[in-house]
Structure 1
């Protein structure tokens, strides 16, 4: 059974205003959560950093956990949106995969602190909400599943069908590796060098026999 997106109640009825204010809350909370941690950050601090009173904050959310959920969802949306921008109907699956990999590693570098935040603080969410957040991870991996299937269909990628999902998750881990291990990897590789090396290794695995 697929977990439903959490509906966060709001006392405000204007959808555009809700979206605008929640964007302000997310941006303020991300900075606070990264620098102070979720548990040490207060809703009053979030309200102040958002530019409005604590009373106004509670017109748009019910709890600090709601804010963390909004933050996690916004980060996943950003990664997914920017990744899907690389997918076009033109070109082979292999070509699209190469472009998607470059963009994915670039995005993971740019939102490094935010991705770390998800993994460090997701455990503070209620169990059902955690399931939804983890499903969003699977949906992003699903983009690579789509690309790999396209490559299998057009013959540019040679991989056993049963290994497609494993390869997609392997790609996700490689992107996250730069996030989690950048502190040491960056001593020996630039982002560009890391990207090219990982792409070379991946393509050797899935297209080595493709002419």
Structure 2
């Protein structure tokens, strides 16, 4: 998977050092999430944001052009982190079922780590310009594609007998189940650790798959 912004979506910066840009924008994102969740995107001023980050307004605008850029960076950070996390999955395993379980585990772990980001994502995505919204949705579909690829691999191995619509349904369901930890963390975290949640949801997913055919 490669969730990268093409030039038409790139946010302009005056800084040449790309590693510095990456580090500073990560700091901007983390601080923005705290403020946006606490008081809302529209009620958060640029001055409040720069105070939280610990930089001047002038410095902030060396890394972004508008406040909307900050919002987009927050939304995009989720998918960048998911991509980085998924690199840990051993896709070369000969066991398709193991690959699917590892993908689900890595995905749920990053959903746990970015729970606040996901909550904010669903609250504010509609404030983004259409081109940014389309990019976010495309990134979401790229992540779902990972689950679809793993399920289709089981199909090719002869361990499943599902039609395309059912495979798509299951892939998108896995994506939503990861988000569910963030949405209902207020309940689940009182009763389960994230590892227990992953175990139960993985059993559910594999059980749903085996409803049509037995996974060897």
TM-score by length of 2: 0.86
Between the two proteins, the alignment pairs up a number of residues equal to 209
Q: What is the RMSD of the two structures over their aligned residues, measured on CA atoms?
A: 2.1
Q: Distance in 2 between matches of 1:200 and 1:189?
A: 15
C-alpha distance 91-131 of structure 1, shift in aligned 2 (>3 A)? same
Q: Distance in 2 between matches of 1:174 and 1:23?
A: 26
Aligned pairs for 1:57-206 (under 5 A) are 57-206=60-209
Q: CA deviation at 1:11?
A: 2.5
Q: Distance in 2 between matches of 1:106 and 1:14?
A: 31
Q: Is 1:29–1:71's contact at 8 Å kept on the other side of the alignment?
A: yes
Q: Is 1:82–1:107's contact at 8 Å kept on the other side of the alignment?
A: yes
Runs of 4+ in 1 over 4 A off after TM superposition: none
Q: Is 2:159–2:214's contact at 8 Å kept on the other side of the alignment?
A: no
Q: 5+ residue gaps in structure 2?
A: none
Q: Distance in 1 between matches of 2:170 and 2:95?
A: 18
- Secondary structure of the residue aligned to 1:144 is helix
C-alpha distance 83-15 of structure 1, shift in aligned 2 (>3 A)? closer
C-alpha distance 153-122 of structure 1, shift in aligned 2 (>3 A)? same
Q: Is 1:92–1:154's contact at 8 Å kept on the other side of the alignment?
A: no
Q: Is 1:158–1:209's contact at 8 Å kept on the other side of the alignment?
A: no
Q: Is 1:158–1:210's contact at 8 Å kept on the other side of the alignment?
A: no
Q: CA deviation at 1:196?
A: 2.2
Q: 5+ residue gaps in structure 1?
A: none
